[in-house]
Structure 1
Amino acid sequence: MTFLVFIGSERQSTPPHPPRLGERVARACAVRLEANDADFEFVDPLAINLPSPFKPHFSYAGGRAPQELEELAGKIASAQGYVMVSPEYNHSMSPALAHLLNHFGSSLFSYKPSAIVTYSAGQWGGARAAVNMRTYLAELGCLPVSAMVHVPKAQEVFGESGNYLEETETERWDGYIDRTMQQLLWWAEAAARQRAHGTAEIPAAFTKAPSQRNAPGY
Structure 2
Amino acid sequence: MTKIAIVTGSTRPGRINLGVAEWVLAQAQQRTDAEFELVDIAAYNLPVLDEGYPAAYQNYSNDHTKAWSQKIAEFDGFIFITGEYNHSVTPALANALSYLNAEFNNKAAGMVGYGSASGVRAVEHLRGILSELQLAHVQKTGMFSLFTDFENFSTFAPTELSAASVAPMLDQLVVWTKAMETVRDAALVAA
Scaled by the length of structure 2, the TM-score of the pair is 0.82
Partner SS for 2:150: helix
SS at match of 1:50: coil
1:161-172 equivalent positions in 2, closer than 5 A: 164=157, 169=160, 172=161
Shift of 1:44: 1.8
1:102 & 1:199 partners in 2: Cα distance?
Answer: 23
In structure 2, the partner of 1:73 is: 69
1:190 maps to 179
Q: CA deviation at 1:125?
A: 1.2
Give the alignment partner of residue 29 of structure 1, picking from 24, 30, 45: 24
1:137 to 130, 133, 136: 130
On the 8 A contact 1:24/1:159 being kept in 2, the answer is no
Indicate if the aligned counterparts of 1:159 and 1:165 stay in contact, CA closer than 8 A.
no
Native 8 Å contact 2:46 2:65 kept in 1: yes
Report the counterpart of residue 35 of structure 2 in structure 1: 39
Q: Does 1:92 align with 2:50?
A: no
Q: What's the offset of the Cα at 1:155? A: 1.8
Is the alpha carbon distance of 1:102 and 1:28 closer, same or farther for their aligned partners in structure 2, counting shifts above 3 Å?
same
Paired-residue identity, %: 26
Correspondence 1:125 to 2:125: no
What amino acid is the match of 2:184? R
Q: Any idea what SS the aligned residue of 2:135 has? A: coil
RMSD between aligned residues = 3.0
Mapped to 2, the partners of 1:191 and 1:158 lie a distance apart of 37
Residue aligning to 2:166: 177
Task: Name whichever of 86-95 and 173-182 sits farther off.
Answer: 173-182
Q: How far apart are residue 133 of structure 1 and its match? A: 0.9
Equivalent of 2:150 in 146, 155, 159:
155
Q: What is the CA deviation profile of residues 121-169 of structure 1, one whole-angstrom value per residue up to 9, with x for unaligned ones?
A: x3x1111111111111100111210101110024239996x7x577xx3
**TM-score when scaled to structure 1?**
0.73
Give yes or no for contact 1:4–1:79 (8 Å, CA) kept in 2: yes
Judged with a 3 Å threshold, the aligned counterparts in structure 2 of structure 1 residues 113 and 24 are, in CA distance, closer, same or farther, namely: same
Tell me the number of residue pairs that the alignment of Structure 1 and Structure 2 aligns.
186
Are the aligned partners of 1:25 and 1:158 in contact in 2 as well (CA < 8 Å)? no
**Structure 1 unmatched runs, 5+:** 13-18, 204-218
Change (3 A) 1:177 1:76: same
Query: Secondary structure of the equivalent of 2:110?
Result: strand
Of Structure 1 and Structure 2, which has the larger fraction of its residues in strand? 2
Aligned to 1:20: 15
Amino acid aligned to 2:25: A
List alignment gaps of at least 5 residues for structure 2.
Answer: none
- Partner residue, 1:206: none
For 1:132 and 1:152, the matched residues in 2 are separated by 18
Q: What amino acid is aligned across from residue 112 of structure 1 in structure 2?
A: K
Which structure is larger by alpha-carbon Rg, 1 or 2?
A: 1
